[in-house]
């Protein structure tokens, strides 16, 4: 019986083939991943929405908002807006006449320098590379699964009183990004060799 057909050698080859297949199947775990998140206490779009919806225009005070996590000194998602920034948001390219704005916006704009605001912008984005480890490693094909949510809100004040709130964003973000390079690692060489 030739060496290549002996039962021990055959078992060893099958074991090595099985181990190689298992190792290659686990290679996806070696692909990089990334995340982009504003460090805030809201862990979902709904939590951020509920926080904004709990604010009552013409009743809630700015001091109450600070207690509820809307403190621009502690919350990196909150940006303080000045009166000129607010005027710019509502007048630049607006198709509405000033008397057509919501009452809270009109009140704020009429208050002049007493009008201020908070802009809230929260991002929780996760990028996972998926697909074939070898195709990804050699830059032939890269697949990235992008999931998460974004939230933005606006709160307007006259002095200490909230006069207007609004929110928006993307409650459920799910994208698949595929980059295909038929030449793999050689794809970018032409650009690198071009004289500058």
pLDDT digit string, tens, across residues 100-134: 888 999 999 999 999 999 999 999 999 888 888 87
pLDDT band at 45 (very low <50, low <70, confident <90, very high): very high
* The pair of three-digit structure tokens given for residue 182, joined into one six-digit string: 């038929």
**Taking the model in full, what pTM does it have?**
0.73
pLDDT digit string, tens, across residues 19-38: 666 555 556 666 666 666 66
Using alpha carbons only, give the angle 36, 121, 33 rounded to the nearest 5 degrees: 10
CA distance 152 to 165: 11
**For residue 1, pLDDT beyond 50:** no
**For residue 99, pLDDT beyond 80:** no
Sort strands 141-158 and 115-130 into parallel, antiparallel or unpaired.
antiparallel
**For residue 53, pLDDT beyond 80:** yes
Position of tokens 């008397």?
99
pLDDT digit string, tens, across residues 129-187: 888 887 777 888 888 899 999 999 999 999 999 999 999 999 999 999 888 888 777 77
Give residue limits of the domains in the chain: 1-29, 31-193
Query: How confident is the model at residue 115, as a pLDDT?
Result: 94
CA distance 160 to 145: 43
C-beta neighbour count of 116 within 10 angstroms: 20
Angstrom distances, CA of residue 95 to CA of 5, 87, 92, 119, 184? 83, 14, 9, 22, 50
Any idea what DSSP says for residue 44? S
Average pLDDT for the chain: 83
């Amino acid at each position: 019986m030739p060496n290549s057909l002996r039962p021990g050698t055959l078992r060893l080859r099958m074991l090595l083939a099985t181990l190689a297949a298992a190792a290659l199947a686990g290679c996806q775990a070696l692909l990089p991943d990334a995340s982009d998140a504003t460090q805030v206490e809201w862990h979902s779009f709904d939590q951020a929405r509920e926080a904004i919806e709990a604010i009552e225009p013409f009743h809630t005070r700015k001091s109450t908002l600070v207690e509820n996590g809307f403190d621009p000194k502690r919350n990196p998602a909150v940006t303080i807006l000045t009166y000129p920034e607010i005027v710019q948001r509502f007048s630049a390219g607006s198709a509405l006449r000033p008397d057509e704005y919501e009452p809270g916006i009109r009140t704020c704009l009429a208050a002049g320098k007493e009008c201020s605001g908070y802009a809230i912008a929260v991002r929780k984005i996760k990028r996972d590379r998926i697909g074939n480890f070898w195709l990804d490693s050699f830059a032939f094909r890269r697949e990235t699964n992008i999931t998460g949510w974004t939230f933005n809100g606006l709160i307007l004040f006259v002095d200490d009183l909230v006069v207007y709130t609004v929110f928006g964003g993307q409650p459920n973000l799910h994208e698949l990004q595929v980059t295909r390079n038929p030449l793999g690692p050689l794809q970018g060489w032409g650009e690198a060799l071009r004289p500058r």
